[in-house]
Amino acid sequence: MKSTLGTALGASLSGVSLASMAANAPTKIESEDINSRALLKDEYDLHFLAIGDWGRNGADHQIQVAKQMGKWATEHPNDFIISTGDNFYPSGVVSEHDPLWHYSFENVYTDFSLQWDWYPILGNHDYKSDPDAQVRYTAISRRWKMPSRYYSKTFKIKEKAEVLIAFIDTNPLIPEFHQNSEYGPHVAGQQPEKQLAWLNELLQTSDAKWKIVVGHHPIYTAGPRTNNYDTLAVRKVLQPLLEKHRIPLYLSGHEHSMQHLKVQEKHFHQFISGSGSEVTPVKKGVNYSRFEASTYGFMYFAINKEQLQVQCIDHEGKVIYSSIIPWNA
């Protein structure tokens, strides 16, 4: 028996060109509609977590903070993770195959939401062994992205605007480190003037709407190192550059606490996220401190063209501070 249905289908298809079928068909092959993370949208275009001073084989609340980071990044939009240095205690890693990569990093930040890009910088403890081993690990890891001891990344946000982040290495900027028996061998050969010239050129020539600098050592702190030689040395060379280019944000670690600092006559805000495991005390009543907490945790940044939001989240997942910085040329 002849199929009238088949005949009808054949007749209708024969009159349709492949080009017109393509034009009418959905064009997405791998649809974002089936990715639940795509539903996590808010008013911001770029989001990242920031954690510092963490690698302790999971000890001293490192595990608890890691779990909350995973929970937060699962429930909120997130694009990448910044590490503000002192990635491995007590003395960095000796090679890209050091077991600490497993015990202090891979086996701690295990949540699927934390398998996205990490942009780390080097802290002073990382300088007690081989800092370049952390650069070399980039070739082994899918998520660890440290192309060199200092580097920059540009991220697109809406309306063709960009966010520039300069990831710097503050260790060679401290003159005392060059004479120090532990740090000296690993800062040898580093040229601080060259890095500062690179940073100046980068900040000068970038058209990014937001320019952020990330370095391990704070420029100001309401922690134990308010007047330490490292704080003062970094302030001396970095503050003039930040002010010259009207940089809105400097993010650091080193102090094991969370802080938001703003010196009244300076343009830049400074955040310290350095309590990824151990905590150290903070001082109350420091006039340039807007927030200081001796609390384990991490920070969450969200940016759009108009403003930047920062939240501090503790090791139990509680938001303990939130602040909005409007864009201001």
| Site for Fe ion, rule CB under 5 A | 86, 123-124, 254
Residue closer to Fe ion (CB basis): 96 or 126: 126
Instruction: Give me the count of residues in the chain.
Output: 329
Residue closer to Fe ion (CB basis): 195 or 275: 275
**Burial tier of 311 (Cβ tally within 10 Å: 0-12, 13-18, 19+):** middle
Nearest distance from C-beta of residue 174 to Fe ion, angstroms: 11
* Calpha distance 207→62 (Å, rounded): 38
Distance of CA 116 to the CA centre of its chain: 11
Nearest distance from C-beta of residue 328 to Fe ion, angstroms: 30
**Burial tier of 136 (Cβ tally within 10 Å: 0-12, 13-18, 19+):** middle
Residue closer to Fe ion (CB basis): 67 or 225: 225
Asked if residue 309 lies in contact with residue 299, where contact means CB atoms within 8 angstroms, the answer is no
Residue closer to Fe ion (CB basis): 74 or 294: 294
Residue closer to Fe ion (CB basis): 89 or 101: 89
* Calpha distance 216→273 (Å, rounded): 10
Instruction: Give the three-class secondary structure for 41.
Output: coil
* Calpha distance 188→177 (Å, rounded): 9
Nearest distance from C-beta of residue 261 to Fe ion, angstroms: 17
Nearest distance from C-beta of residue 93 to Fe ion, angstroms: 15
Residue closer to Fe ion (CB basis): 124 or 273: 124
Residue least distant from Fe ion (Cβ): 254
* Calpha distance 191→102 (Å, rounded): 32
Nearest distance from C-beta of residue 129 to Fe ion, angstroms: 14
What's the DSSP call for residue 12?
H
Nearest distance from C-beta of residue 53 to Fe ion, angstroms: 6
